[in-house]
Chains A and B, each alone.
Chain A
Amino acid sequence: MKQFQYVRPATIQAALDVISKPGSKIIAGGTNLVDLMKRGVTAPDKIVDINHLPLKGISEPIGNVMTVSIGALALNSEVAENSRIKELFPLLSMALNAGASPQLRNMATVGGNMMQRTRCGYFYDTTMPCNKRQPGTGCGAMEGVNRMHAIFGASDQCIAVHPSDMCVALAALDATVEVAGKKGKRYIHFADFHRLPGEKPQIDNNLAPDELIVRVIIPTNNFSRNSYYLKIRDRQSYAFALVSVAAALEIDNGIIKNARLAMGGVAHKPWRLFEAEQFLVGKTASEENFAKAAGLAMKGAVGHGGNSFKLKLAPATITEALKHAAGLV
C-alpha cells in the first residue's frame, strides 16, 4: 500500500476543509477503501478519518416530524439491529443483514455503504482495461466475464453494477440524503444519489468531491407489515447479489394501495421499478398481477452474454419478492 498522510478532523468544518484538497479520501469503516488501497486501485495521498465527527445517531419520529434520521457514521450492524428500524422499516434491516458478513457490518457505516465502489473484476484488476478505474482504457467486462453485470442503464463505457443491498432498500423507501458542503447543506433524493455510467463511468454518484454525507432521512410509511428483501446469489450467505429485490406493499382487504419496488445487482445504481409500482396500485395482491408487474419492470433490459440469465432471473425474483411481501408464501 502506498504511504499516505493521516488526519483526524474533529469538526465537520475541519473535515470539509481537508477533503476539498485533491488526493484526499475519507475513511469511515474502511472495509472497501482499505481493500482498494491494498490492490492499488486507489492510492490517496491523504486519508481523512471522520470517525470522530458527531454523525452516529439514529433519531426517532417525534411529534409531527414523521421521519427517521440515520447518521452517516451509524454502523450497518447498529442500524440492522435497531429495534425502531426493525419495527418501522423491516425492509432496511433485512437488506442490511443480507449484505457482507457480521464482522464487516460491525465496521461498515451507512455513508460508506453508499460510497462503496463496484466489485467488477476488471475494476479491481489493475492490469485490465477499465473505464471506471482509468477512463479511456475501455471496458473489459463488455465482451469479457460479465456474469455479475448490469442489464439496465449501462453504457458502451461501463456495465458495472452498484454492489449495495442497503441502498436498494433506501431507494425503495424514498429516503433523502443530507450532505454538507462548504456552501452549506443540500438534500438529494436517494434515487438520484447514484448515477448511471453514461460517458463518465469513473463517477459513481452525484456527491461532489468536496461534500460529506451527513445523514439519511427516511419518511415513515405503511409498508412495515408487507415488505421483503429477496437476494439471489451464488451461495446462501456472504456473496454479492446476482439479482436482489426490495418489495414494499400497502395492502387493504387484499387490494394494493401503494407499492415500492427496487432492484439490486442489475444496474450502476439501485434500480427503481416505477412502472411496475404504478401498475400494482388498485390491483389484487395475486401472483398473476405480480408476474405482470415483473414483466413491465423488464422493459429495456439488455443482456451481455454472461449475464443474460438475469433476463429470466430478475422477473422471477420480483414476483417471488412480491409474494413474500404480500404473505402469499
Chain B
Amino acid sequence: MKSDKPTPETTDVKDSSRRDFLKQSTLLTAVAVTPVVAIKAANDHMDEHLAAVFEKMPLKMEVNGKTVNLSVEPRSTLLDILREQLDLTGTKKGCDHGQCGACTVHVDGHRINSCLTLGIMMSGKKITTIEGLAKGDQLHPMQEAFIKHDGFQCGYCTPGQIMSAVSCIREGHAGSEHEIREYMSGNVCRCGAYPNIVNAILEVKDGGFAV
C-alpha cells in the first residue's frame, strides 16, 4: 500500500491525466480540495518534482480528540494513515479486506472497518481508536472487563473486539448472549476467546457502566 514512485514508462500517462484532472477541477462545482497553485503548476507544465507534491491531498480530521493536518495519497486507507502516518499502531491490520474486524475504529461515534475506508473521505470526521478509549491511566470499563474475563489469547484481534464491543452496547444490541454474538460477528478471533468476550460485554452492559 506504500506509494510507488512513477516509473519512466508510466510518467507521461500519469502526468497528462493529472493535468487533465487539475484543469477539470476548476470547472467542477466541487468542494475546493485542489490548491489553486497546483492547478497553475499543472497548466504551466511545471516540472515533475513540483507536480508530484500535489499527488498528495490535504486531510484534516480529529483523531482521539486532537485535530490532525495531514498530506495523504487518495488511495491510502484510514487504517494505513493511522498506523503509518500517525503511529497509532493499536488498530490492527488483519485481513485488510473487511472480513476480520481487527481494524475496527469509531467514526463520529459509529464503528467501521478502517481498512475499507479511504482516508481522504474522512475529512472533518472524528475518529476514535483503541488509544483514545482510556482516560489517561484509567482504562475504559470494556478494557478492564476484557482483562478480568480473559477475553483474548494472542491479543491481535482485541483492539477491534473492544471497539466493536463498546459500539455493541451503545447501539443497544447487547441484550443477550445470542444478540451479542450476532452483533459481534464482524470481529473474528482465531484463538476462539468468544465465550470470554461475551462475558466481558455482558458484565459491562449489566454493570451499567458509561461506554
Contact = CB atoms under 8 A, between A and B. Distances in A.
Nearest to B121: A49
Contacts of B25: 7
A34 interface: yes
Contacts of A101: 101, 113, 185-187
B116 A31 contact: yes
B6 to A, nearest CB: 8
Contacts of B121: 27, 30, 49, 51
A126 to B, nearest CB: 14
Given A1-B1, A11-B29, A45 B17 contact: yes
A6 B74 contact: yes
A34 B77 contact: yes
Contacts of A38: 96-97
A107 B29 CA distance: 25
Given A14-B29, A18-B28, A30 B118 contact: yes
A225 to B, nearest CB: 23
A102 B164 contact: yes
A52 interface: yes
A35 interface: yes
A9 interface: yes
Contacts of B101: 101, 103
A30 B17 contact: no
A106 interface: yes
Contacts of B21: 5, 7, 46
- Could you say which of A5, A35, A51 has the most chain B C-beta atoms within 10 Å of its C-beta? A5
Nearest to A31: B116
Given A3-B14, A14-B29, A103-B101, 11 more contacts: A2-B75, A6-B120, A35-B97, A35-B98, A38-B96, A103-B104, A107-B112, A107-B117, A236-B185, A237-B181, A237-B182
Interface of B: 1, 3, 14, 17-18, 21, 24-25, 28-31, 33, 55, 57, 73-75, 77, 96-98, 101, 104, 110-113, 116-118, 120-121, 164, 167-168, 171, 173, 181-183, 185-187
